[in-house]
């Protein structure tokens, strides 16, 4: 079967100035994931690799570059699913780790559960040897500015990222 991989970098009212970086990021991730598939790798490895690349890209709302909550902190969610077994793993409200998607995969592969949350997810990450980053490591200047604008202007939580509110969507 001819392998294929598709990625997205988020939907919303994305600012014009963010468009080139968004396109560049998804192209890099798609190529990397496809390369794994062409070399005989699994779909699971391919999607995890592609998402890790996007989590490292601070123009994306995931990993470093995540938007901020009302307290100015990053709280991240991730999930992964294996279509051959319906095995699935997810984390929510996880803090200070670089790649939530890899933690979600560990939940799938090393626990009897599907979803770990908050401090429990971070405790599991620590047990699995995933380094905890210094608080604030994932916060970018753009995310800080977006929250500042949000607090100043209020506005919709559904379409954030336009010229009036330079944030990003969930």
* Footprint of another protein on 25-84 (CB under 8 A): 25-27, 29-31, 33-34, 37, 40-44, 46-48, 50-51, 54-55, 60-63, 65-71, 73-84
Q: What is the dihedral of CA 28, 31, 33, 34, to 10 degrees?
A: 170
Provide the phi-psi class of 17: left if phi over 0, else alpha when psi is between -120 and 50, else beta: alpha
CB of 166 to another protein, least distance (A): 9
Q: How far is it, in rounded angstroms, from Cα 21 to Cα 94?
A: 26
In the complex, minimum distance from the CB of residue 132 to another protein, in angstroms, rounded to a whole number: 17
Q: Is 33 helix (H, G, I), strand (E, B) or coil?
A: helix
What interhelical angle do 43-56 and 19-38 show, nearest 10? 150
User: In angstroms, rounded to a whole number, what is the distance separating the alpha carbons of residues 140 and 160?
Assistant: 17
In the window 108-127, what residues touch another protein (CB under 8 A)? 114-115, 117-118
Is 91 one of the binding residues for another protein (CB under 8 A)?
Answer: yes
Q: Does 130 engage in binding with another protein (CB under 8 A)?
A: no
CB of 15 to another protein, least distance (A): 9
Site for another protein, residues 5 to 24, rule: CB under 8 A: 5-14, 19, 22-23
- With binding defined as CB under 8 A, does residue 98 bind another protein? no
């Amino acid at each position: 079967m001819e392998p294929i991989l598709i990625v997205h970098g988020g939907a919303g009212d994305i600012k014009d100035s963010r468009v080139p970086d968004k396109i560049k990021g998804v192209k890099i991730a798609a190529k990397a994931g496809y390369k794994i598939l062409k070399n005989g790798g699994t779909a699971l490895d391919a999607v995890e690799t592609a998402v890790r690349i996007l989590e490292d890209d601070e123009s994306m709302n995931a990993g470093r570059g995540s938007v901020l909550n009302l307290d100015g902190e990053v709280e991240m969610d991730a999930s992964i699913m294996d279509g051959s077994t319906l095995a699935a793993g997810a984390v929510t409200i996880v803090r200070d780790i670089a790649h939530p998607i890899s933690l979600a995969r560990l939940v799938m592969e090393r626990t009897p559960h599907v979803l770990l949350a908050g401090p429990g997810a971070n405790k599991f990450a620590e047990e699995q040897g995933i380094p905890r980053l210094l608080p604030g490591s994932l916060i970018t200047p753009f995310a800080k500015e977006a929250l500042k604008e949000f607090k100043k202007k209020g506005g919709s939580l559904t379409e954030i990222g336009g010229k009036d509110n330079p944030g990003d969507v969930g």
